[in-house]
Structure 1
Amino acid sequence: MTNDVIGRRQRVLKNAGGIAVKAAKTYPTQYLQTVSRAVTVLRAFKGGSRDMSLKELTEELKLNKVTTFRLARTLAYEGLLVQDPASDRYSLSFGCLALVDAMLNRDGLAEISRKHLRVAREETGETATILVREGWDRVVIATEASLQPVRYVMEVGRRNRVYLSGSGACLVSGMTEEERESLFEFIETDPIARKYSLTKDVLLGRLEHIKENGWGTAQGEWAEEASGVAAPVYDREGEVIAAIAIAMPRSRYNKSYRHKCAPAALKAAKLIGEEYDSINR
């Protein structure tokens, strides 16, 4: 994990950390030892400022390797930890934001995006969302739900594979060639990819569409009846730091409607990127 990625994650999640990890202790009978240990695991990452191998985590917690492994795997399954597919190191997941949404760092990406997501929602009438990449997943960090009776909503903390949907393709478009090749290898063996008939060629086609048009689109991959358009959020270095998605029911998904929603996603992505850069100089 690069220092830039760690720094970004620290800025977004700093309210969750800063608590020292204590040595093994005796638990009062009214407390559940497993729950206390799980919280200690999360605190070990100091609010997202560090990533750790299983060995490092075991030594820090002073637990046996099997117990630490089970705790880490369970927390990853619940979306609170994420394991880097390349290094196998663990770090806090943006899924933690679902637990601390009201306490988010006020100058972070999620907070910056909200007013622009509201404008996009007003312009399109649909749900506007910002997502970030974590390993081979993407996670919703802020959303403004459509006010229409029939709508599609993506909750904060919701995660799915990064190669699914237009927003996922936008995030993949920011990967290095080496990262993409690793992702393509992962797709070949991932059962979720088989479920959605997602192949390397399908994803390459979506990346080409983004390259030509500046935005991506897909349908039926967040949920069977969900569709949408998405645009990458760039920082001043031209790196993709997030994706803006305009999500809608498939019943409203047609060419003219897509071309109405795409400019709203592009505008929101541009403004969010500019504001993010102005704050994080």
Structure 2
Amino acid sequence: MKTPKTYPTQYLQTVSRAVAVMRAFKGGSRDMSLKELTNELNLNKVTTFRLARTLVNEGLLTQDPASDRYALSFGCLALVDTMLDRNGLAEISRKHLRKAREETDETATVLVREGWDRVVIATEPSLQPVRYVMEVGRRNRLYLSGSGACLVSGMNKDELEALFAFIATDPISREYELTKEVLLSRLDFIKHNGWGTAQGEWAKEASGVAAPVYDQEGKVIAAIAIAMPRSRYSDSYVDKCVPAVMKTAKLIGKEYDAINR
């Protein structure tokens, strides 16, 4: 597997800005005026207006006719609905994630690998007033966090070497001081314990435990994570969450095989 090459000159600034507009709405949890959106993106008003109107025309944003405020449109769902559950994994996971949340009082999430990233495809947020939430669609580097290491643990030798080569050149790895040696240590821990953990890596206040989800052939198809604020992370809390995350991973893998065999 070859390491993907990046060519900055191939990127279209207009497309990048349009994506930034979409992300500004935080997954649909907020609406914004043109002024608020302009300030959020740090662009000029004319550029922001054109971007927003184009996305409204494409059915990805909606504009309230009374207030003129913008919000994500349900038209976005057409882009990802089938993709998120193309093999039934997200739907299978939900009931098991709810059970894990009940057992731990924390956010339970399932993530899959996509290139050198990990992506959330289903989540059940904690009901506690102070909690850590991982929204569906959230994307982070694969090599960051315990859940990422669980996904990496399913790679073959060639894939691992390609990932290590990518880590050596990726500016994000330098930002988080993530090295090949750190990742190898995590992989060794997962191999011997069946679960992984990390604290304050891709988000300073986030911590948690994770476990790989295997299919009947022993292939890692996903990772289950129990995410919590670092203030609640302790040995006793880990003792509570690890059995839940490992049980959840096993149940999801078993049901996945029953449906996809």
TM-score where L is the length of structure 1? 0.65
Which residue of structure 2 aligns with residue 216 of structure 1?
Answer: 196
Query: Structure 1 residues 221 and 77, CA, compared in 2 at 3 Å: closer, same or farther?
Result: farther
Deviation at 1:222, TM superposition (A): 3.1
Counterpart of 2:216 (choices 236, 259, 264) is 236
* 1:225 maps to 2:205: yes
* 1:108 and 2:88 correspond: yes
Q: Which residue of 2 aligns with 1:161?
A: 141
Is the 1:104–1:111 contact (alpha carbons within 8 Å) kept by the matching residues of 2? no
TM-score (norm 2): 0.70
Is structure 2 residue 223 aligned with structure 1 residue 246? Answer: no
**2:241 equivalent in structure 1:** 261
Aligned to 1:22: none
In structure 2, relative to structure 1, the CA distance for the partners of 1:136 and 1:245 (3 Å cut) is: same
2:151 aligned partner, one-letter code: L
Superposition map of 1:98-247 within 5 A: 100-101=80-81, 105=85, 108-247=88-227
Letter in 1 for 2:180: K
* Alpha-carbon distance change, 167 to 237 in structure 1, aligned in 2, over 3 angstroms: same
* Percent identity over paired residues: 76
Q: Which amino acid aligns with 2:255?
A: E
Alpha-carbon deviation of 1:103?
Answer: 9.2
Q: Secondary structure at the match of 1:273?
A: helix
Question: Superposition RMSD on alpha carbons, in Å?
Answer: 2.8
Q: Give the residue type in structure 1 aligned to 2:183.
A: L
| Structure 2: distance between partners of 1:133 and 1:117 | 18
Q: Structure 1 CA distance, aligned partners of 2:254 and 2:202?
A: 28
- Unaligned stretches of 5+ residues in structure 2: 2-8, 23-75
Amino acid of the structure 1 residue aligned with 2:190: I
Q: 1:231 to 1:98 in 2, by over 3 A?
A: farther
Give how far 1:69 is off.
6.5
Q: Kindly tell me: are residues 104 and 179 of structure 1, through their superposed partners in 2, closer, same or farther at Cα, counting changes over 3 Å?
A: closer
Residue type matched to 2:245 in 1? A
* Moved >6 Å (runs of 4+): 75-78
CA distance in 2, matches of 1:187, 1:76: 28
Give the conservation status (yes or no) of the 8 Å contact 1:97–1:157.
Answer: no
Larger RCO (CA under 8 A, 6+ residues apart): 2
Distance across 1 between alignment mates of 2:143 and 2:15: 22
Alignment coverage as a number of residue pairs: 200
The answer to whether the 8 A contact 1:167-1:243 is kept is: yes
CA distance in 1, matches of 2:226, 2:143: 17
Letter in 2 for 1:271: L
Q: Against the structure 1 CA distance between its residues 177 and 102, is the aligned structure 2 distance closer, same or farther, given a 3 Å change threshold? A: closer
Give the secondary structure class of the aligned counterpart of 2:132. coil
The CA deviation string for residues 156-199 of structure 1, in whole angstroms up to 9 with x for no partner, is: 00000000000000000000111111111111111111111110
Q: Does the Cα contact within 8 Å between 2:199 and 2:230 map onto a contact in 1? A: yes
